Amino acid sequence: MSEDLESLAREYKVVVRDLMKVYRRGTQEVIALRGVDFEVERGELLSIVGPSGSGKTTLLRMIGALDRPTAGVVIFEGANITQLSEEQSMDYRRRRVGFVWQTGNLVPGLTALENVMLPMRLAGKKRGEAKRRARDLLTDFGLEARLRHRPHQMSGGENQRVAICVALANSPDLLLADEITGELDTETADMVMETLKRANKEYGLTIINVTHNPRVARYASRVLRIRDGLIEGQRHVLYGDISEIDAKGRIVIPEAVRRLAGLQKRVVLQVTSEGLLVKPLRVAEAERVSEDQPGEETENN
């Protein structure tokens, strides 16, 4: 970790740097995140807004260690969570982060009480203790009359409030919420957001809330806009890694960088005032090159 990053890691709850995610669908590649940078303060309620497909869910999945980025880091409380082992990453998901998704994360066959107990039981808490905390949480959020109800017997707003209690069950330090009001009417959405705001204020919980609804975003103290895999207003120089040039002038360009820059086997080198620009060799240029050099059409590497 660079010194700069280390001091940021000490100061902030979450630091996201150079985060990049490339999905492969068959031979097609989708670049969902193109180098995202931001920090989240301890106890902050941050909203991230952006159009459909801009990379919001992808970003939350990386922060929640549900998936690994192609490049870049996510630092949580000073630790790089993109380098955790399988076991550590499971522990992180179970104890440190809480998730709430758009469609709710409740188990259909279980009551509200049992749903909230579930993560605590999985983390090894005794039944009686889990039950007590589940009841307290649900009561705290005005759901004391719904303890024995199953998800299909409750309204959308009630389901999402139970889902928030599920996410809070193991007292996480960070709550990740993905479009949790997406399927609710305005009034119900406000109620759910008030619940989130209370969790933020009363438990000092750090929250990252993703939404495409500007009205919902306003509950946060800060709003970041993401578009096409980049935070708006950030001009990002992708992947600032250091490569060495060997005695023969060879340089190793990491695979992720080659993919992002669209580089294949042959490239064009241009010396600019900023340094060396390495560009993909386009088809037209390739034809011109081979016309100029009739003996060198075949690639020899």
Ligand X SMILES: Nc1ncnc2c1ncn2[C@@H]1O[C@H](COP(=O)(O)OP(=O)(O)OP(=O)(O)O)[C@@H](O)[C@H]1O
Closest separation in Å from C-beta 137 to ligand X: 28
> What is the DSSP-derived secondary structure letter of residue 12?
-
Closest approach, Cβ 120 to ligand X, in A, equals 29
Residue 184 partner contact from Mg ion, ligand X, none using kind-dependent CB cut-offs of 5 to 8 Å: none
Question: Residues binding ligand X: what is the number (CB under 6 A)?
Answer: 13
**Coil, helix or strand at residue 157:** helix
Contact pick of 13, 17, 34, 56 for ligand X (by CB under 6 A): 56
Among 3, 26, 27, 52, binds ligand X (CB under 6 A): 52
Which two structure tokens, joined as six digits, stand for 299? 């690639």
Strand order in the sheet with 71-76: 28-40, 14-25, 71-76, 79-80
Please calculate the CA angle 80-82-83 and round it to the nearest 5 degrees. Answer: 75
Closest CA to 37 of 75, 92, 65, 78: 75
- Helix 112-122 and helix 127-140, axial crossing angle in degrees, nearest 10: 130
Q: Which of 2, 3, 4, 25 binds ligand X (CB under 6 A)?
A: 25
Q: Which is nearer to Mg ion, 57 or 234 (CB)?
A: 57
The DSSP result for 204-258, as a single string, is --EEEEEES-HHHHTTSSEEEEEETTEETT----S------B-TTS-BPPPHHHH
The pairs formed by 239-244 with CB atoms below 8 angstroms and a separation of 24 or more are 239/18, 239/20, 239/35, 239/71, 239/72, 240/18
Which residues of this chain interact with Mg ion, rule CB under 5 A? 56-57
Smallest distance from Mg ion to CB 39, Å: 22
**Cα–Cα distance, 51 to 238 (Å, whole number):** 22
Residue of 58, 105, 181, 200 interacting with ligand X (CB under 6 A): 58
Instruction: Select the binding partner of residue 133 from Mg ion, ligand X, none (C-beta < 5 to 8 A, by kind).
Output: none
Q: Of these, 42, 57, 110, 197, which contacts ligand X (CB under 6 A)?
A: 57
Asked if 55 interacts with ligand X (CB under 6 A), we say yes
Cα distance between residue 101 and residue 180, in whole Å: 6
Decide whether 46 or 113 has the Cβ nearer to Mg ion. Answer: 46
Query: What would the x/- binding string for ligand X be over residues 184 to 223, using CB under 6 A?
Result: ----------------------------x-----------
Q: Tokens 């994360």 — which residue?
A: 105
Query: Smallest distance from the beta carbon of 54 to Mg ion, in angstroms?
Result: 9
Nearer to ligand X, 58 or 70 (CB): 58
In the chain the first and final C-alpha atoms are separated, in Å, by 35
Q: Which of 53, 142, 204, 214 touches ligand X (CB under 6 A)?
A: 53
Q: Which does 53 bind (CB under 5 to 8 A by kind): Mg ion, ligand X, none?
A: ligand X
Region of 23-31, 37-45, 194-202, 256-264 interacting with ligand X (CB under 6 A)? 23-31
List contacts with ligand X (CB under 6 A). 23, 25, 30, 32, 50, 52-58, 212
